[in-house]
Amino acid sequence: MSVLRLGTRRSQLAMTQSGHVADALRALGHEVELVEIVTEGDTNRAPLTQMGGTGVFAAALREALLRGEVDLAVHSLKDLPAADHPGLLIAAMPPREDPRDALVARDGLTLGELPAGATIGTGSPRRVAALAALGLGFEIRPLRGNVDSRLARVSDGELDAVVLASAGLRRIDRADRITEAIDPLQMLPAPGQGALAVEVRADDAATIEIVSAIDDSDTRAAVTAERAVLRGLQAGCSAPVGALAEVVEDVDGSLEISLRAFVGAPDGSTDLRRSITGPIADAEQLGLCLADVLLDDGARRIIADAQERPDRQRPPGASATGGPADRTTDIDAMEREK
Ligand SMILES: NCc1[nH]cc(CCC(=O)O)c1CC(=O)O
């Protein structure tokens, strides 16, 4: 068998995630070579240059894959648009890391312990909406940059707290900075958060066969349901939408998917939370069905407002720096990819 070429970005998180997948394939006896793909976002240090990236980073990896320069690419699932990409296939979703968001606060504080007026940094409209929905009077501040620079804003005393994905922190060995793994009752993670996607060319049967060995069926079912919510809402990955599916045992002992979703206005003025449970085999339909429920109950307006009025994506009293222009850039990046 020839060497599998795995395309990766060179950020610490991307290299670590790619390394995990490479090791899993090597453990099955395959030879894997990492091929660094330098993306536009990596070379010019524009605002979009941040860990995980948005559409631009995934797009460069996908082009390398389609051109045949590499045989597989590893993405953070939550950074991929919910629609299939022509010519490509997600051949594996390895077992998911902790899907929860993580609070990194000064003095070991939790969300409940932070005082009203505390400053919390996040660049994600979903996290802004969830924090605003708590009604605790936090001041949300924009946050960009790689993980270490985000963490430094707390250790430097510039912010009281930041919110990041637990999975990213765990993967790069910074889990010790987490002061609270935020309960999904308070903040539902982004669809796909904590999961990886191993993408291949749809016509590359040999690689599909090899890579599918590291697919985790529970992870795939959960993420399929979560991404179907996003697709049903016709929302992008930067929409204020959270979703978490868990594989649970029902009373008869058979496995089911329990799916929860959240849509909220980033200014905290309104939010929706709905849930649904059903057979694992119906993961996709469950997600679409839950999206319909949310749409019927007003999600369309909330999502449209969040996209059209980015200037309102902060609660009253929050800092206005780095707001509208940055957010438009993110949405544009996602659009280009579709
Ligand atoms: N959009 C950035 C991004 N993409 C993937 C991760 C972390 C890993 C994951 O969520 O799977 C992060 C950072 C974060 O949200 O804190």
Where in the chain are the domains?
A: 4-93+195-215, 101-188, 227-308
CATH superfamily of 4-93+195-215: Periplasmic binding protein-like II (3.40.190.10)
Locate 164 and state its tokens: 């990041």
pLDDT band at 238; cut points 50, 70, 90: confident
Do 4-93+195-215 and 227-308 have matching folds?
no
> What mean pLDDT value characterizes the chain?
88
Could you tell which of 11, 54, 193 is best to mutate to test the pocket of ligand 1, judged by most ligand atoms within 8 Å of the CB?
193
Consecutive H or E run containing 207 = helix 205-211
The residue assigned the tokens 């399929």 is 224
Strands (E), 106-173: 119-121, 139-141, 161-165
ipTM higher than threshold 0.90? yes
What is residue 322's predicted lDDT score, i.e. its pLDDT?
A: 34
- Asked whether the beta carbons of 283 and 231 are under 8 A apart, the reply is no
Question: What tens digit of pLDDT does each residue of 111-140 get?
Answer: 999 999 999 999 999 999 999 999 999 999
**Cα–Cα distance for residue pair 299/101, rounded to 1 Å:** 22
CATH of domain 101-188: 3.40.190.10
What values do phi and psi take at 74, rounded to 5?
-110, 125
Residue 166 Cα, ligand 1 centroid: separation in angstroms? 8
- Which pair of structure tokens corresponds to residue 307? 């996209």
Q: Is the CB of 191 under 6 A from ligand 1?
A: no
What average pLDDT does the segment 257-280 reach?
Answer: 96
Q: Which fold has domain 227-308?
A: Double Stranded RNA Binding Domain (3.30.160)
Q: Is the Cβ atom of 76 under 6 angstroms away from ligand 1? A: yes
pTM: 0.88
Query: What average pLDDT does range 94-114 have in this prediction?
Result: 98
Whether the CB of 165 sits within 6 Å of ligand 1: yes
Residue 173, class by beta-carbon neighbours within 10 Å (0-12 exposed, 13-18 middle, 19+ buried)?
Answer: exposed
Q: Which tens digit of pLDDT belongs to each residue from 15-72? A: 999 999 999 999 999 999 999 998 666 555 544 434 344 567 789 999 999 999 999 9
